[in-house]
Amino acid sequence: MEISIDGRIANVQELARNGNYITMMVDGDVYEVDALRVSEGIYSIIYKGRSYNIEMIADTSARHYTVNSWYNSYKVEVIDAQTRYRMSREKGSHTDEGKIIVSPMPGKVVKLLVKEGDTVEAGQTLIIISAMKMESEFKAKVPGVVKHIAVNEGDTVDANKELITIE
Amino acid sequence: MIRKVLVANRGEIAVRIMRSCREMGIRTVAVYSEADRASMHVRYADQAFYIGPAPSTESYLNIDKIIEVAKQSGADAIHPGYGFLSEKAEFSDRCKREGIIFIGPDSHAIKMMGDKITARKTMIAAGVPVVPGTVDAVKDEADALKIIEEIGVPVMIKATAGGGGKGMRLVKDAKDVISSLRMAQSEARNAFGDDSVYIEKYIESPHHIEFQILADKHGNTVHLFERECSVQRRHQKVIEETPSPLLTPEIRNEMGRHAVAAAKACGYYGAGTIEFIVDDNLNYYFLEMNTRLQVEHPITERVVGVDLVKEMIGIANGFELPFRQEDLKQSGHAIECRIYAEDPDNNFMPSPGKIQHITEPLGLGVRHDGYVYEGYTIPIYYDPMISKLIVWAKTREEAINRMSRALHEYKITGVKTSIRFLAKIMESQDFISGKYNTHFIEKNHDFLMAEPECDGQCEDIALIAAFLEHTQKLNKVSTNGVDKKAVSRWKDIRHHSSI
């Protein structure tokens, strides 16, 4: 199975399993671990006597996870055939990077500073979202024309929702 | 005698107040907005009443509605907590007029301390040191220049109606006086509708140290020592501790005496806090008085052994304080960390959302004042503070180690939190040595924000967990029963013995 973790794509395979004792190979390195799923999405993994407590949080898509250990938090994506196809197509060509303004947290739309059809500069503030008494400005990452605005002033928005598309 | 208290607040502080009420045999009434039906304070209270839509202006700040609920529920007193209506003189007055006991000071004291210039004049008259600067609002630009010449740069220009860092300008060079003055005035006019400003000497490496006071209605006023609140980010306190590693016993006594004098100067009763700014040479100056219970009050409770909420209720009942100054002692060391729903890796952006999982820290010397639970959704409308983690130990060193341990135990998933950032602070040399001021976070930024060290092995372990979780999920979907191993043997036994 191919899994991407913070940009690195790793090959992960299961070699053997006996109850909790699992032998895994990650990019050619062999790991003999004692992995116990202690509750929904939570793993206690012991490797060479070191104890790791790992939490898996499923994102909106079935293949995306946030993986938290005590010291780190990773964005993880399981790569399937469809993803591989998408990635090969996108390679070389430009992606949607920066063209879609997304709110990383739930909140309320305080102000829309542009309308559809407006020409915007990179760095221009497009929308203000308020969450927990704090207002955050979201700026255009690239110059372009506002193609679509998915929200209205006063709307409550969920996390990771598309707000504005620039073309 | 107060028999039923309405808590005009939400979240952790509402729960904390109700806990003391429960111990005292006092019934509690919660009020809640549309966003807070599932909030812990509603579940904890004996009675709960809906008071309006989610925005606080239409609910937790709606005086008419709260008074109406107090009457309807038969509450004889209202505790305002902190924030919301706690420092609104009008609310204290209104309670009095309606025959409801306000658990806090009267409107006169709130007003006096709410206006910075009046507060400053009152303190000067009471012999409490204030930051050198103007007593009255600056008249004009010539006046400003003259004042700055007298006290010398650096100075701070501040809005008299100010707060939250708005209408504030630091002047380091005398030639910038006029432009800074104009900017401060225009900001103050926009933010508060009042452009009057005053000028204060700027303290270069300030410590923020505050004193807790309690005063009854019979003229007895005591202080419960200090809280060191210099670990701040954007003027927001992050960590507090007591005793302060900076103060000497002599300065502590002197500041305590001045804190009591400050409270007496405005005829104060109830619980209050006198904030001081202290420089490296232990010169201290009155900054402001908070006429309410503070967020960080638990560290004082832990070290002095007094339940401040119970004392506030006693004072509101008209009782005399059950102790004198000489009865109060500091014992051991307490630290509080504020846990916020925010993302330290993303400029501390707020992170409301659903709590998927929470493991609260437990064990020796740990107190945890919170309100969230598994499955609870933190609303977007209010403060991002999730909880306060308080530890106590005999020594400061042990308290720091205990806080590190408690933070390690504390697990929340679903929302991002400041827990790891706080743990880094506990590991920083400046905090451990106790040599820090309000520039601490800025100064230690690189250390605090450093990516955790990992030899690639942590990443591989995370990949293994992701693999296992994903295959588990796929197996479940294909329903071929691979999941059997995860079924507890206890369930089999139960089936066999038909328990």
- State the CATH number of the domain containing residue B399: 3.30.470.20
Q: Are residues B368 and B484 in the same domain?
A: no
> Six-digit token pair at B196?
């009057």
Contact A57 B470 (CB under 8 A): no
Name the CA dihedral angle for B129, B130, B136, B138, rounded to a multiple of 10 degrees: 150
User: Measuring CA to CA, how many Å separate B495 from each of A97, B480, B491?
Assistant: 54, 22, 6
Tell me the pLDDT tens digit for each residue of A121-149: 988 999 998 888 788 888 888 899 999 99
Give the per-residue pLDDT at B391.
98
d(CA B235, nearest CA chain A) in Å = 14
Give the per-residue pLDDT at B187.
81
The residues on B that touch A, with CB distances below 8 Å, are 341, 343, 345-346, 349-353, 356-357, 380-384, 408, 411, 413-414, 420, 452-454, 457-473, 485-486
Per-residue pLDDT averaged across B299-314, rounded? 98
Contact B381 A132 (CB under 8 A): yes
Q: What is the helix (H) or strand (E) element at residue B28, kind and residue range?
A: strand B27-33
Contact B466 A108 (CB under 8 A): no
Query: How large a percentage of chain A has pLDDT more than 70?
Result: 89
Q: Are residues B318 and B411 in the same domain?
A: yes
Is B123 part of any domain?
no
* B383: nearest CB among A56, A62, A132: A132
Q: Which residue do the tokens 């502590």 mark?
A: B252
Tell me the pLDDT tens digit for each residue of B343-355: 888 889 898 888 9
- Kindly identify which residue of chain A lies nearest to residue B347, measuring between CA atoms: A136
Give the per-residue pLDDT at B310.
98
- Chain B interface disruption, residue of A25, A26, A27, most B CBs within 10 A: A26
Residue B289: which of B478, B110, B25 has the closest Cα? Answer: B110
Q: H helices of B292-337, where?
A: 297-304, 308-316
> Six-digit token pair at B114?
């709410």
Residue B43: which of B373, B452, B401 has the closest Cα? Answer: B373
* A57: nearest CB among B380, B413, B486: B413
Q: Are residues B309 and B428 in the same domain?
A: yes
B499 confidence band (pLDDT: 50, 70, 90): very low
- Kindly identify which residue of chain B lies nearest to residue A56, measuring between CA atoms: B466
Q: Are residues B224 and B174 in the same domain?
A: no
Is B366 part of any domain?
yes
- pLDDT(B66) > 50: yes
pTM score > 0.90 for this model? Answer: no
- Chain A interface disruption, residue of B464, B475, B482, most A CBs within 10 A: B464
> Six-digit token pair at B161?
């109606």
CATH code: domain of residue B92: 3.40.50.20
Contact A156 B380 (CB under 8 A): yes
Give the per-residue pLDDT at B153.
87
Per-residue pLDDT averaged across B224-250, rounded? 96
Q: What is the helix (H) or strand (E) element at residue B448, kind and residue range?
A: helix B445-449
* B350: nearest CB among A12, A14, A131: A131
- Kindly identify which residue of chain A lies nearest to residue B486, measuring between CA atoms: A37
Buried b (16+ CB within 10 A) or exposed e, A16-42: eeeeeebebebeeeebebebebeeebb
Query: How large a percentage of chain B has pLDDT more than 70?
Result: 94
Structurally, what CATH architecture does the domain formed by A2-88 represent?
2-Layer Sandwich (3.30)
In B, which residues are within 8 Å of A131 by CB distance?
Answer: 350, 352, 380
d(CA B490, nearest CA chain A) in Å = 15
Q: Which residue do the tokens 């180690």 mark?
A: B401
Instruction: Round the CA-based radius of gyration of chain A to a whole number and report it.
Output: 21
What ipTM was reported for this prediction? 0.70
Name which residue leads in pLDDT, B188 or B106.
Answer: B106
- pLDDT(B472) > 90: no
Query: How large a percentage of chain B has pLDDT more than 90?
Result: 70
In B, which residues are within 8 Å of A104 by CB distance?
Answer: 343, 346, 349
* B349: nearest CB among A10, A27, A136: A136
Give the per-residue pLDDT at B168.
84
Is B121 part of any domain?
no
B427 confidence band (pLDDT: 50, 70, 90): very high
Is B239 part of any domain?
yes
Is B116 part of any domain?
no
User: Measuring CA to CA, how many Å separate B436 from each of B14, B115, B192, B277, B443?
Assistant: 32, 30, 33, 14, 9
Contact A37 B470 (CB under 8 A): no
Contact B470 A134 (CB under 8 A): no
Tell me the pLDDT tens digit for each residue of A55-101: 888 776 778 888 888 777 888 988 877 677 666 665 544 445 678 88
Q: Are residues B257 and B168 in the same domain?
A: no
Q: H helices of B74-115, where?
A: 89-97, 107-114
DSSP tag of B321: P
For B164, residues 6+ apart whose C-beta sits below 8 A from its C-beta are B235
In A, which residues are within 8 Å of B383 by CB distance?
Answer: 132-133
Q: How far apart are CA B322 and CA B330, in angstroms?
A: 17
Q: Are residues B240 and B327 in the same domain?
A: yes
Q: How far apart are CA A16 and CA B143, in angstroms?
A: 82
d(CA A93, nearest CA chain B) in Å = 28
3-state secondary structure B271-303: EEEEEEEECCCCCEEEEEEECCCCCCHHHHHHH
- Kindly identify which residue of chain B lies nearest to residue A43, measuring between CA atoms: B465
Per-residue pLDDT averaged across B291-310, rounded? 98
In A, which residues are within 8 Å of B471 by CB distance?
Answer: 1, 14
Write out the E strands in B301-445.
Answer: 333-340, 342-343, 349-350, 353-354, 357-359, 366-370, 377-378, 385-393, 411-413
Q: Are residues B162 and B277 in the same domain?
A: no
Per-residue pLDDT averaged across A157-165, rounded? 85
Is B275 part of any domain?
yes
On average, the pLDDT of chain B sits at 91
d(CA B419, nearest CA chain A) in Å = 10
Q: Which positions of B are catalytic?
A: 292
Give the per-residue pLDDT at B484.
44
CATH code: domain of residue B163: 3.30.1490.20
Last residue of a domain, one of B146, B179, B201: B201
Residue B83: which of B232, B271, B293, B241 has the closest Cα? Answer: B293
Q: Are residues B313 and B462 in the same domain?
A: no
Q: Are residues B55 and B145 in the same domain?
A: no
Contact B466 A69 (CB under 8 A): no
Write out the E strands in B35-92.
Answer: 47-52, 77-79
Name which residue leads in pLDDT, A77 or B8.
Answer: B8
Is B112 part of any domain?
no
Write out the E strands in chain A.
Answer: 2-5, 8-18, 21-26, 29-39, 42-47, 50-58, 64-68, 73-79, 100-103, 107-112, 119-120, 125-131, 134-139, 144-149, 156-157, 161-166
B167 confidence band (pLDDT: 50, 70, 90): confident
Domain that includes residue B479, residue range? 457-497
Q: How far apart are CA A41 and CA B2, in angstroms?
A: 48
- pLDDT(B488) > 80: no
Give the per-residue pLDDT at A136.
84
Give the per-residue pLDDT at A90.
58
For A61, residues 6+ apart whose C-beta sits below 8 A from its C-beta are none
Is B215 part of any domain?
yes
Q: Are residues B83 and B12 in the same domain?
A: yes
Domains in chain A: boundaries: 2-88, 100-166
Residue A52's identity, in one-letter code, is: Y
Q: Are residues B373 and B482 in the same domain?
A: no
Residue B412's identity, in one-letter code, is: I
Residue B159 burial (10 A CB sphere; 0-12, 13-18, 19+): buried
Q: Which CATH number fits domain A100-166: 3.90.1480.20, 3.10.20.30, 2.70.98.10, 2.40.50.100?
A: 2.40.50.100
What's the number of domains chain B is made of? Answer: 4
